[in-house]
């Protein structure tokens, strides 16, 4: 039953535009319009079908079985993403990131004579995702998406828009692969497999840096005319930000990252941070609680379904060579969250060391193929969704835009990957 509903949820993810069109058939403000509009939100899908699954299970086996299952699940990652998304999207952090991009752009602009829009876009899409290896992927995609939102003109062509989203998703998924605590598919297995910072950087560092650099360079080159004509410059913040406010936000960001495995600790820190934003409200925009909750709900739904997919994923994982496993993991990531995929792999005690690296490499390689391939993706899309027609995502168009970029990643890992 869980597997059937899981694949219904997958199908739902690829057909959200249908629900968006259905919503328009009802009177504005009616229950029907609200219901179908809700179902057109990608972030809602897995949480919605997980709820349906738990209700059906309740009527079959009773409350005790459902409660026992829920208590056995580790919801640390959804809670962490909820907190880090809100903190990373505050005005002091975004102002700092924008200032860094503008400073870097100005420095490069003095060295070479290139249109500043090209430099800003290139720096943002190259260094932003790599920053995800330090401040975590959810925080990085939030920062980059917020700055992209300022650059993207509402009249931007749809093809170019999907290309930008695909580059964001692919680079974020790969860019977090330099450390053991930033990317969800690595974070979720690092403890089980005893991986530290040195292990991850040595085994994944070179292909990660190569893939992100090549993808950003090629995309900027081939779309240079559109970047110049259809993107806006990121402007400097007109309102000065006191340094103590920025430093306090950086401190909380660092503390949240350091305590990412301890929900009781980082939730306590987050509540204190909410108090800080109240004290500093003159330097804040509205906190993005809705976006954080939607993404956490999405990931929590995947976690509810995850343990019930082991029966069909485990035989696939254990029967393949390292390279075959890499290709399979890259492809499977497109239809199932890559953290769930590596988590299931960590439950297989017979995996060789090479197979472990192949599985993780494949999981981060395919993280841009769909909205559900990488846990931070819904966070990025939720920020940029208003730039898309009807606020809905066409899964096929995203897949087609992400394929060439993913091929570059695959070639990078095949050339210098450690499996």
Q: Report the alpha-carbon distance of residue 118 to residue 393 in Å, rounded.
A: 26
Report in angstroms the alpha-carbon separations of 180 from 89, 135, 207, 376, 379: 23, 12, 15, 16, 21
What sign does the CA torsion over 390, 34, 304, 82 have? positive
End-to-end CA distance of the chain: 36
- Cα–Cα dist 219/205, whole Å: 21
> pLDDT digit of tens for each residue in the chain (419 aa)?
999 998 898 888 778 778 888 988 898 889 999 999 889 887 788 899 999 999 999 999 999 999 999 999 988 878 988 898 888 888 898 888 878 888 888 888 888 888 999 999 999 999 999 988 988 888 889 889 989 998 998 889 999 999 999 999 999 999 999 998 788 889 888 878 989 889 999 999 999 999 999 999 999 999 999 999 999 988 776 678 899 999 999 999 889 988 988 999 999 999 999 999 999 999 998 888 987 888 788 878 888 988 888 888 778 778 899 999 999 999 989 887 788 788 878 878 788 899 999 999 999 999 999 988 998 898 899 899 888 877 778 889 999 999 999 999 999 999 998 88
Length of the chain: 419
Burial of 94: CB neighbours in 10 Å, binned 0-12, 13-18, 19+: buried
CA proximity to 361, closest of 408, 306, 410: 410
Which run of H or of E encompasses 164? helix 158-175
Q: How far apart are CA 336 and CA 305, in angstroms?
A: 10
- The first and second tokens of residue 184, run together, are 């969800």
Each residue's pLDDT tens digit, 63-89: 999 999 999 998 887 898 889 888 888
Contact present, 101 and 234 (Cβ < 8 Å): yes
């Amino acid at each position: 039953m869980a597997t059937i509903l899981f694949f219904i949820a997958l199908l739902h993810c690829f057909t959200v535009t249908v629900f968006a069109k259905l919503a328009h058939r009802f009177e504005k403000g009616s229950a029907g319009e609200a219901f179908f509009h809700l179902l057109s939100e990608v972030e809602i899908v897995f949480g919605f079908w997980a709820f349906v699954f738990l209700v059906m299970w309740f009527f079959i086996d009773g409350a005790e079985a459902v409660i026992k299952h829920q208590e056995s699940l580790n919801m640390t990652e959804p809670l962490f993403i909820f907190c880090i998304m809100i903190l990373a999207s505050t005005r002091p952090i975004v102002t700092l990131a924008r200032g860094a991009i503008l400073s870097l752009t100005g420095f490069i602009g003095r060295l070479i004579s290139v249109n500043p829009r090209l430099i800003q876009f290139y720096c943002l899409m190259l260094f932003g995702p790599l920053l995800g290896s330090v401040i975590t992927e959810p925080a990085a995609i939030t920062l980059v998406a917020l700055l992209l939102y300022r650059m993207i003109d509402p009249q931007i062509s749809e093809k170019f828009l999907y290309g930008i989203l695909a580059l964001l998703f692919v680079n974020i998924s790969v860019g977090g692969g330099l450390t053991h605590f930033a990317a969800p598919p690595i974070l979720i297995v690092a403890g089980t497999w005893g991986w530290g910072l040195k292990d991850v950087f040595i085994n994944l560092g070179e292909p990660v840096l190569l893939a992100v650099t090549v993808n950003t360079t090629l995309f900027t080159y081939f779309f240079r005319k559109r970047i110049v004509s259809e993107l806006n410059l990121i402007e400097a913040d007109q309102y000065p930000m006191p340094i103590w406010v920025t430093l306090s936000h950086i401190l909380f960001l660092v503390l949240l990252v350091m305590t990412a495995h301890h929900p009781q600790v980082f939730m306590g820190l987050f509540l204190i941070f909410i108090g800080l934003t109240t004290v500093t409200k003159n330097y804040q925009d509205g906190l993005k609680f809705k976006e954080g909750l939607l993404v956490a709900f999405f990931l929590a739904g995947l976690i509810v379904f995850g343990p019930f997919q082991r029966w069909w994923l485990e035989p696939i994982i254990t029967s393949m060579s390292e390279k075959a496993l890499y290709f399979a993991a890259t492809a499977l990531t497109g239809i199932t969250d890559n953290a769930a995929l590596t988590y299931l792999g960590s439950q297989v005690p017979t995996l060789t060391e090479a197979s472990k690296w192949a599985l993780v490499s494949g999981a981060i390689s395919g993280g841009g193929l769909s909205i559900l391939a990488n846990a931070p993706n819904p966070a990025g899309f939720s920020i940029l969704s208003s730039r898309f027609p009807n606020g809905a995502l066409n899964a096929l168009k995203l897949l087609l835009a992400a394929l060439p970029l993913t091929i570059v990643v695959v070639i990078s890992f095949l050339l210098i990957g450690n499996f």
